[in-house]
Structure 1
Amino acid sequence: MIKLLRVDYRLVHGQVAISWSGYLGADCILVANDEAAKDEMRQSVLRLSKPQRTKLVIKSIEDSIRAIKSGVTDKYNLFIVVNNIQDAERLVAGISELKYINLGVLPATKDSKALSKAIYVTADDIKSLKKLLNQGIKIDIQQVPTESIVTVNEKLLKE
């Protein structure tokens, strides 16, 4: 069962691994990321960050979609983490059960604007978020489970 799809540029780290996994009751973290799936060193670093009793799987976006659709992940309380909005959009397009996205942390860049203290989006990100909203996907900003939720909507994206 998919517990959460989270966008966090850091992928797996203390906040994701401890706070969110515990809160969700997740026993498996799926890092869906094309670059990490090809990088042995990065995979080693990510494995060091996971909670002790939690399985960590690192797959490309396409392999993640295939695995979820095949049912192989059904036995887990699955926490999916991607590092950008476009990857979340690709997952939503491939997996009909995904109806909710949590935005955790996206860093500031020279071409980005702040949606919150931890979420900075580019024009491409805004375009993707609007497309997702138009598809009926619920999108919230929440760094940790104890923090207040900010709902992403058209008005927030225009400000």
Structure 2
Amino acid sequence: MVELCRIDDRLLHGQVAVTWVGAVAPEAILIANDEAATNEMSKLALKMAKPAGVKLAVKTIDEAAALLNNPKAAKIKIFLITRTIQDTLRLVSMTDQIHRVNIGGVKNKEGGKMIAAAVCLDNDDLHDLMKLRKRVDEVELRMVPTEHRISIDKYLREEEVEV
């Protein structure tokens, strides 16, 4: 069962490995990103960042969906990490196992607006977040578990999103 899905463009790094893994207390970390899953150097770096005592799987989005849809996964406490909002939306459209999403790192891009520390969203991101929000119970902004949760809902008023 997916305890939490975190969107973080850096995937698994020190802050995630220490604070989020400590807060979520997963049995396994599942990283779902096509590029990371097909790049041996990326996989090696992610394995080096993995905390002791937790299993790690690095899968493409399709492979991650298949893994999450396997009934055996329901018995495992999983911390899911994706690189982008688009990866998460794609994965959520392929499985009903994701209920809570945390946004912790979306890199700065042209046309984007910083809405929180390390979270820069453009109009495409906001539209994708609207779709994502309709499919899951909660989408929050929070860098670390000790911070106050900020619901993404306050940024998703359709009349304020440019097309």
Point out where structure 2 has 5 or more consecutive residues left out of the alignment. none
Task: Kindly provide the CA deviation profile for residues 67-122 of structure 1, in whole angstroms up to 9, marking residues without a partner as x.
Answer: 11112423321000000001110111111132221101111112211121221012
Counterparts in 2 of 1:151 and 1:82: CA distance versus 1, 3 Å? same
Partner of 2:74: helix, strand, or coil? coil
2: CA distance, partners of 1:36 / 1:29: 14
Partner of 1:79: helix, strand, or coil? strand
* 1:156 maps onto 2:155 in alignment: yes
Per the normalisation by structure 2, the TM-score is 0.91
Corresponding position of 2:126: 126
Contact 2:43 2:58 (8 Å CA) reproduced: yes
Q: Match for 1:101: what amino acid? A: V
> How far 1:136 sits from its partner (Å)?
5.2
Corresponding position of 1:16: 16
Counterparts in 2 of 1:37 and 1:129: CA distance versus 1, 3 Å? same
Runs of 4+ in 1 over 3 A off after TM superposition: 134-137
> How far 1:137 sits from its partner (Å)?
4.0
1: CA distance, partners of 2:105 / 2:56: 20
Identity %: 34
Kindly report the root-mean-square deviation, in angstroms, between the aligned alpha carbons of the 2 structures. 1.5
**Pairing of 1:1-159 with structure 2 (within 5 A):** 1-135=1-135, 137-153=137-153, 155-157=154-156, 158=160
Task: Kindly provide the CA deviation profile for residues 49-80 of structure 1, in whole angstroms up to 9, marking residues without a partner as x.
Answer: 11011111000000000011112423321000
Partner of 1:4: helix, strand, or coil? strand
Contact 2:98 2:136 (8 Å CA) reproduced: no
Contact 2:3 2:100 (8 Å CA) reproduced: no
Q: Which moved more, 1:56-65 or 1:106-115?
A: 106-115
Per the normalisation by structure 1, the TM-score is 0.93
Q: Match for 1:77: what amino acid? A: K
Counterparts in 2 of 1:10 and 1:138: CA distance versus 1, 3 Å? same
Contact 1:4 1:101 (8 Å CA) reproduced: yes
Task: Kindly provide the CA deviation profile for residues 28-52 of structure 1, in whole angstroms up to 9, marking residues without a partner as x.
Answer: 1000000011111110001111101
